[in-house]
Chain A
């Protein structure tokens, strides 16, 4: 009987402890962080959440973390980082429900949409560095850029997305890519050079066609 009680006690302890801390302790320690994360995600994405929305989301996040979230945590990252992921997911899910948006699972549609964003943003970002690119249409430049970037190593593709598409500063790209700023600067230089060379090649082709 004693043995059985001890077994039940151990199971209860395992169920309620994450690392050295109980779920309640983790939740309590991070409550303020959760609240601030909700505010900041809301501000960044302009979700226009009301105080009531934020309260609902906060409650859902706390319940989710308490009921299942912490149990699924695998300790591959910090607890706060894991919580942040839950916060983002819950907010998105809440906003989707609120706006009654039907999320499309058509990958092609998503890719096309994303390609368009990249093309437009990138052309705005990079065309000033390639004067003669102005003489080509945006679609032509976009195709050259896309083909060139596709052929680059994964790290350069990531740097391209972060720096040229999302406009993140070199210093921050370095932190994100776990490389020195000098290395990132070199990669950015190489990306520009490669694209410029490709555009020049194509441009010469256009000139010949015209002649």
Chain B
């Protein structure tokens, strides 16, 4: 404690060692003792180590929130909705409005506390466009889209946001930090 160390950030290599000991990835006792000794003198790593146990670890043991919805959709010259795995929405509440065989468009309505979110997927020349809209005035709301290939953010304007040239695969949409919609889009 005579040399309490400092609050300056350590090297990223040391930080990873500290975190590796924290989460149990590192099991070598010599490294563990070295890291624990380092924590006595380095306030930055000490706080990081402590926060892992206080903040990060409990998060990992938490169940996924109630706001997660998973949709399995097949496309074979038209959309065929398959499974809906919703933890908080009753499956029947997710309504396929325009889903017909051989139609290149499918539309889902997902109830929200203040209205409904509509997700429309349109097949265009081998790729897909996704249009998200809210029945209520929600201009400025943000939507994140994550696929295996891209990460995009769109802001609702005129109550709608559009993502284009989306390839089939797992598509995650996060609406205004509230609803997480995972669409597993398979092309046959």
Q: Do A and B come from one complex?
A: yes
Q: A74 is contacted by which of B16, B39, B174, B180 (Cβ under 8 Å)?
A: B16
Cross-chain contact A111 with B4 (CB below 8 angstroms): yes
* A: number of interface residues (CB 8 Å): 58
Q: B19 is contacted by which of A82, A149, A158 (Cβ under 8 Å)?
A: A82
Cross-chain contact B40 with A161 (CB below 8 angstroms): yes
B42-95 interface (Cβ within 8 A of A): 43, 46, 48-56, 59-60, 62, 64-65, 68
Cross-chain contact B22 with A81 (CB below 8 angstroms): yes
Q: Is the C-beta of B17 less than 8 angstroms from some C-beta in chain A?
A: yes
Cross-chain contact A85 with B15 (CB below 8 angstroms): yes
A160-174 interface (Cβ within 8 A of B): 160-162, 166, 168, 172
Q: A31 is contacted by which of B20, B62, B144 (Cβ under 8 Å)?
A: B144
**Bound-complex Cα distance A77 to B9 (A):** 18
**Bound-complex Cα distance A39 to B13 (A):** 26
A residues near B153, Cβ cutoff 8 Å = 59
Q: Is the C-beta of B2 less than 8 angstroms from some C-beta in chain A?
A: yes
Given contacts A54-B177, A76-B19, A161-B46, contact A81 B56 (CB under 8 A): yes
Given contacts A80-B56, A154-B37, contact A27 B146 (CB under 8 A): yes
Contact with B along A24-47 (1 / 0, CB 8 A): 110110011101110011001000
Cross-chain contact B60 with A155 (CB below 8 angstroms): no
A74 to chain B, nearest CB (A): 5
Cross-chain contact B174 with A31 (CB below 8 angstroms): yes
Given contacts A31-B172, A81-B23, A176-B50, contact A41 B40 (CB under 8 A): no
A172 to chain B, nearest CB (A): 7
Contact with B along A169-183 (1 / 0, CB 8 A): 000100111100000
A103 to chain B, nearest CB (A): 8
B residues near A31, Cβ cutoff 8 Å = 144, 146, 172, 174, 180
**Bound-complex Cα distance A116 to B26 (A):** 34
A residues near B39, Cβ cutoff 8 Å = 158
Q: Is the C-beta of A185 less than 8 angstroms from some C-beta in chain B?
A: no
- B51 nearest CB neighbor, chain A only: A88
A82-138 interface (Cβ within 8 A of B): 82, 84-85, 88-89, 105, 107, 110-111, 114-115, 118
**Bound-complex Cα distance A37 to B177 (A):** 13
4 nearest A-B pairs in the assembled complex, by CB-CB distance: A77-B20, A76-B16, A77-B19, A154-B37
Residues in B lying within 8 Å of A, measured CB to CB: 1-9, 12-13, 15-17, 19-23, 25-26, 32-33, 36-37, 39-40, 43, 46, 48-56, 59-60, 62, 64-65, 68, 142, 144, 146-151, 153, 170, 172, 174, 177, 180
Having A51-B177, A150-B1, one finds 18 other A-B pairs with CB under 8 Å, namely A32-B180, A36-B62, A37-B56, A73-B16, A74-B16, A80-B56, A84-B19, A84-B56, A110-B7, A110-B43, A111-B5, A114-B4, A114-B7, A118-B4, A150-B2, A154-B40, A157-B40, A176-B53
A/B interface sample: 16 pairs, CB < 8 A: A22-B148, A24-B151, A25-B148, A27-B151, A28-B172, A32-B65, A33-B60, A37-B59, A62-B144, A72-B12, A74-B12, A78-B25, A114-B43, A118-B1, A146-B2, A175-B53
